[in-house]
A and B are shown apart, each in its own frame.
Chain A
Amino acid sequence: ETGVTQSPTHLIKTRGQQVTLRCSSQSGHNTVSWYQQALGQGPQFIFQYYREEENGRGNFPPRFSGLQFPNYSSELNVNALELDDSALYLCASSDIRLAGEHEQYFGPGTRLTVT
């Protein structure tokens, strides 16, 4: 069984640039959620994708967008980067068909630094 993987592990961007982060879900999982974890904070829910569509969104502006592909992998795109976007971005996969489970499996994260 393959766990959740994310790429890249680290990257540095300049304010105003755009970034794409990638996530491969755990085998058998059909749902991907993205979280932002700022330094010293708990993860904050960005959005969730199921069947290639956004299935819920947290309090993040539209410049945060995502995609889910037929193989359930996912991308997080952030446009017009701001300094406050510097954080650890976590991807989590789950199986939405397991009603009542809500257990999410997390990847190791991508550390984004915006300068």
Chain B
Amino acid sequence: AQSVTQLGSHVSVSEGALVLLRCNYSSSVPPYLFWYVQYPNQGLQLLLKYTSAATLVKGINGFEAEFKKSETSFHLTKPSAHMSDAAEYFCAVSASGGYQKVTFGIGTKLQVIP
């Protein structure tokens, strides 16, 4: 079984401030981890993914995430928030092997304050 927990359904940051979105995962097998972004009335866009290579993963739009097995975490960060980062962010997990079922968290809505 696999699951993810996103801490904080809403996060507000000032423009230029650090963005930190938290995600903890649970998986009985080595996981693949993802962060997706969803803008209003749109589908999901992949920001970055962890597939057991480097533990620090760099993605698009200046985002990065660090896989920490000891903490079962995969938090998403960005050094400086832009207004265009305002969106909903989903952490997701997929188990290695088997079919490609992806389990999503409930999402964190990021608000960027000018």
Q: Which residues of A contact B (CB under 8 A)?
A: 4, 31, 33, 35, 40-45, 48, 50, 55-56, 58, 90, 92, 94, 96, 100-109, 111
Contacts and interface: CB of A to CB of B under 8 A. Distances in A.
10 contacts: A4-B43, A31-B100, A42-B104, A42-B107, A94-B100, A102-B49, A102-B51, A105-B46, A106-B44, A111-B41
Contacts, number: 69
Interface residues of B, number: 26
A90 B44 contact: yes
Contacts of B106: 40-42
B43 A104 contact: no
Nearest to B98: A56
Interface in B90-114: 90, 92, 94, 96, 98-107
Interface of B: 32, 34, 36, 41-46, 49, 51-52, 90, 92, 94, 96, 98-107
Nearest to A6: B43
Contact of A45 (B98, B103, B107): B103
Contact of B51 (A35, A43, A101, A105): A101
Given A42-B106, A102-B32, A56 B44 contact: no
A48 B100 contact: yes
Given A42-B104, A42-B106, A100-B51, A56 B99 contact: yes
Contact of A41 (B32, B98, B107): B107
A113 B18 CA distance: 38
A102 B90 contact: no
A104 B100 contact: yes
Contacts of B103: 45
Contacts of A42: 90, 92, 104-107
Contacts of B49: 102-103
A48 B99 CA distance: 8
A102 B45 contact: no
A58 B98 CA distance: 14
Given A33-B101, A42-B104, 19 more contacts: A4-B43, A33-B102, A43-B104, A48-B101, A56-B99, A56-B100, A56-B101, A90-B43, A90-B44, A92-B44, A96-B100, A100-B32, A101-B51, A102-B96, A105-B46, A106-B36, A108-B43, A109-B42, A111-B41
